[in-house]
Amino acid sequence: MQYIKCSLIVLVLTFCHFSHATNYYVSNSGDNTNDGLSLETAFLKLHFTTDIVAAGDTVFVENGGYDGFDLRYVSGTSEAPIVYKAMGGSVSINASGPIRDDGINIEEANYIILDGFIVNNMEGSGNGIRVVVANNCIVRNCSCDNNAERGIFTAFTDDIIIEYNVCSNSIDEHGIYVSNSSDRPIIRYNECYGNNAIGIHMNGDLSAGGDGIISDPILYGNVLHDNNGAAGINMDGVKNPTIYNNLIYNNHSSQGIALFQQDGAIVTNGAKIFNNTIIVPTDGRWGILLMEGANIGTEIYNNIIINQHAWRGCISAENTTELSSDFNIVNDKMSNVGDGAAITLAEWQVLGLDENTEIAEDLDLIFIDPDLYNLQLIEDSQAIDAGTALVEDVVENDIDDNPRPIGDSFDIGAYEYAIELSLMDNEALSIHFYPNPASDFIKIDYNHSSVVINTIELIDLNGNIIQTFGSKDLLDLTTIPTGVYLIRIGVNSESVVYKKVLIN
């Protein structure tokens, strides 16, 4: 009975704590003798907050320059994370934290969110942001430039999300480095460029302890360019990675994607490599490199892989047994013996691979502006509708979040070719429709004083007219198949507005 009573007291205290989560503020005009509960009474130092935050608390940081901070031995929860959030676009960490050379260090602390910080020029052995022995953390919207070691570094970090960051010009190593048996990381919509080594590096690091395997990572929507070592995406000791919709170009002395074993416990294998666009420069290496064993369970579909090196080519596999590869666009240079020599696509196809793969046309017949690395598809590109639906369980959208497929089949590469969805300032015209998603009808609403609507058409994503309506009609959708459509609105006798709608 006494045990039950104590348990109830703990539950009540826990509920009271979470229900009174606190917002703290840090400002260059603050003072650490303040209570930190408003901008007017903000703290001055970020590190002052690390001894007082608890689950559910948020630290808001006003624009300005700050010393770094070191958060340890305190955790949030899935329902109540601890959040450090920049209040504007110029919250800069311009000196390392009090313990390490890193700008921000999160250590033995779970469910932490970092959002919107600029962390540049860390010296010594400093990373911009370091997250270690910390699960279920999120690093988003941060910029890390010219740091001594890496932009973002993590170790032993299960279920971490790294998204919408820019990691550039790391002096020693990589843009983003996920290491030490970190399972299920999600790395998406980051840009990594100008780093001394790799854009995104993953290493299971058996020598550091743990099982030496990074399991089930997902990488998509990343733009990796002008890095200087090993690969755009480098994977050592990784099991079942999913890699899609990434744009990888102009990385020097590098592979586009490399699957191998060095310090990891296994050879990286079981990869799904779908709908990436990879351009290897003249001083690069292979588009996709598979070490012996990396072929097992690996699938390579719907990728554009262009290699401008004199003889190295697009896919190199030391062993092609159990490898699945098809519906790619490549140069006429492949290899089934690793990095030693190239064979033609026809010779590669004799091995049972890439039966439906095409040899690439000139780049300016595929992309809008390859000289400026605008690698969206040009009208009539050979990549349009040339892919396979075998990727559909993974690839629902393209790198710009356009739905896939648009048209008869999936396009090849990171971009799906899409007609322009907005040709003028829709908001200025105050044209709205609702509901969206819709099932039975859509109603158009607009500002009569500035808008004259001439036509309303429901069209599919190939531009085919499905129905035409008057300006005051409800759009009856009850007979329209489910899917993504556009509403094309003729306005003021001379302009057209497109709006996307989901019919379900």
Question: Per residue, what are the HEC states of 213-273?
Answer: CEECCEEECCEEECCCCEEEEEEECEECCEEECCEEECCCCEEEEEEECCCCCCCCECCEE
Greatest Cα pair distance in the chain: 80
φ, ψ for residue 40, nearest 5 deg: -70, -25
Amino acid at 351: L
Tokens of 110: 């779970």
Would you state the pLDDT for residue 497?
Answer: 65
User: For residues 262-298, b (16+ Cβ closer than 10 Å) or e, as one string?
Assistant: eebbbbbbbbbbbbbbbbbbeebbbbbbbbebbbeeb
Would you state the pLDDT for residue 472?
Answer: 57
Pair type for strands 324-326 and 247-249: unpaired
Measured CA to CA, the distance from residue 488 to residue 480 in angstroms comes to 16
Which region holds residue 322: left if phi is over 0, alpha if psi is between -120 and 50, else beta? left
pLDDT tens digit string along 372-401? 999 999 999 999 999 999 999 999 999 988
Beta-carbon contacts of 427 under 8 Å, excluding residues fewer than 6 positions away, are none
**Which residue matches tokens 């040899």?**
359
- The residue among 488, 419, 420 whose CA lies nearest residue 458 is 488
Residue 439 · residue 432 · CB < 8 Å: no
Residue 208 · residue 241 · CB < 8 Å: no
What is the DSSP track for 465-484? EEEEE-TTS-EE-TTSPSEE
- Report the run of H or E that residue 429 belongs to, with start and end: helix 426-429
What is the DSSP track for 147-178? -SS-SEEEES-TT-EEES-EEE--SSS-SEEE
Domains, the chain, ranges and CATH? 21-138 (no CATH), 426-503 (2.60.40.3080)
Would you state the pLDDT for residue 431?
Answer: 57
Tokens of 451: 């808008």
Would you state the pLDDT for residue 325?
Answer: 98
Residue 195 · residue 231 · CB < 8 Å: no
Distance in angstroms between the alpha carbons of the first and the last residue of the chain: 55
Residues of the chain predicted below pLDDT 70: 1-20, 419-434, 436, 444-451, 453, 470-474, 491-499
User: 431: burial class by Cβ within 10 Å (0-12, 13-18, 19+)?
Assistant: buried
Would you state the pLDDT for residue 428?
Answer: 40
Sign of CA dihedral 207, 101, 151, 256: negative
Measured CA to CA, the distance from residue 64 to residue 453 in angstroms comes to 48
* DSSP letter (8 states) at residue 298: -
φ, ψ for residue 372, nearest 5 deg: -105, 10
Amino acid at 31: D
What is the DSSP track for 92-111? EEEE--SSSSSSEEEES--S
- The residue among 382, 379, 380, 372 whose CA lies nearest residue 413 is 382
pTM for the model stands at 0.83
